[in-house]
Structure 1
Amino acid sequence: MSDETLQPMDITLEQQKIISHPFRVEIIILLSEQPMTSKQVADRLDKDPGTTYYHIQQLFKHEILELVHTEVSRGIVEKFYRAKATLFRVNDSELKVKRQFRAKRDNYIMLSEAELAALSDEISELFYKYTQQSLTSKQDRTAYQISFEAKEYDEGEIT
């Protein structure tokens, strides 16, 4: 998994619908680890190559995957795809919020740039962990937007 795939990608509701299919989630996770062809993905996930190709094309068409490079092997053009992200954020203007702030936490702390970067990385990993759990669990789920935001203040501004 690259640092880029840990950065949340802003998506539309249409893109959210596209990535909501369980098999497409598996494809996104696999293609976040390394670029692969449709055939390689099908083999790795033990799925039908035609079905896999269709789902990869849908993800590519809706800009969830990107074409990294192509290779010609025995006269066949092989296309290698990569997931642009594994964390997704639907544009706020498209959402109808059911309840604002089910849980909210604020904290004021002094950090160096390196500590802030480390904190951000840890939170991204935590988001990734819970995203993976939500994709593999059979429990009923409710959609939430979870955010991490660090605002910089001058020392005298915080009272």
Structure 2
Amino acid sequence: METTLAAIVAHPTRARCFVILTERTASPVEIAQEIGKDVGHVGYHVRKLLALDLIELVDERPVRGAVEHFYRAIERAVVTEGEFAQQSVEEREVFTRYTLQLMVADAARAMDEHTFDARANRVATRMPMLVDEEGFQELSALHTEVLERHMEIQARSAERMTKSGEEGIPTSASSLFFEVPTRRRRLNDES
């Protein structure tokens, strides 16, 4: 059985379908129109996600003598450290490249639509650091805790919005923490 990570990034169309279904409920027809792919091709990847229990059918609507199926992700693809460790470096790099593309796309869209800086309390930081091994482990754990808090806050927001009928504010949160090459290492690689 494929791992969640491998299953999602196994094909670019499947990954795009999954991302859309983590953001909202959609049908293969809607996804195909959005990403410019054939509905049969998109439908195949949506069925694969369904078979892997990554998405669920939430609605069926009659449309011109057929039935349009609507899906949503059951949960976000959160890859644990243990799952990530089981992947090869090449598989991890595929996932990381895709994640970075999504992060950049979210930020670029927000900049283009002038929402990125619309709120003074938005966050954009970069913090190069030099830490020892223990510090690296502590910072890695901190980023994991922040992710867990994000999910808790989103769950509470969803409950409040259900009660209030508030539409909600589309947001994107990105967190990166990684080792960078030393200056010496970069120079050696260039020679």
Structure with more strand by fraction? 1
Structure 1 position 81, deviation (Å): 0.6
Between the aligned partners of 2:30 and 2:3, the Cα distance in structure 1 is 27
1:63–1:71 Cα change, 3 Å: same
Contact 1:38 1:49 (8 Å CA) reproduced = yes
User: What's the TM-score, normalizing by structure 2?
Assistant: 0.45
Name the counterpart of 2:30: 40
Partner Cα separation in structure 2 for residue 47 and residue 129 of structure 1: 27
1:18 aligned partner: 7
Q: Cα deviations across residues 33-92 of structure 1 (Å, max 9, x unaligned)? A: 221111110001111111101111101111111111111122211110111233323594
Cα deviations by residue, 1:95-127 (Å, 9 ceiling, x for unpaired): 5488xx893117xxxxxxxxx9998128999x9
Q: Is the 8 A contact 2:28 2:69 kept in 1?
A: yes
Which residues of 2 match residues 131-146 of structure 1 at below 5 A?
none
> Which residue pairs with 2:45 in the alignment?
55
Cα shift readout 1:116-154 (whole Å, capped 9, x = no counterpart)? 9998128999x95258xxxxxxxxxxxxxxxxxxxxxxx
Q: Which residue matches 1:69? A: 59
- Say yes or no: does 1:120 pair with 2:149: yes
Give the TM-score taking structure 1 as reference length: 0.53
Structure 2 unaligned segments of length 5 or more: list them. 89-133, 140-144, 155-171, 177-191
Q: Which amino acid aligns with 2:71?
A: Y
- Structure 1 match to 2:73: 83
Work out the CA distance in 1 between the residues paired with 2:87 and 2:3.
17
Partner Cα distance (1:123, 1:94) in 2: 23
The aligned length equals 109
Q: RMSD between aligned alpha carbons?
A: 4.0
Q: Which secondary structure state, in structure 1, belongs to the residue aligned with residue 3 of structure 2?
A: helix
Identity among equivalent positions (%) equals: 22
Q: Distance in 1 between matches of 2:68 and 2:12?
A: 25
Contact kept, 8 Å, 2:24 with 2:72, in 1: the verdict is yes
Which one has the bigger helix percentage? 2
1:104: which partner in 2? 137
Are 2:4 and 2:77, in contact at CA under 8 Å, matched by a contact in 1? no
Q: Which runs of 4+ in 1 moved over 4 A?
A: 116-119, 122-125
For 1:58 and 1:102, locate their aligned partners in 2 and report how far apart those are by CA, in whole Å: 41
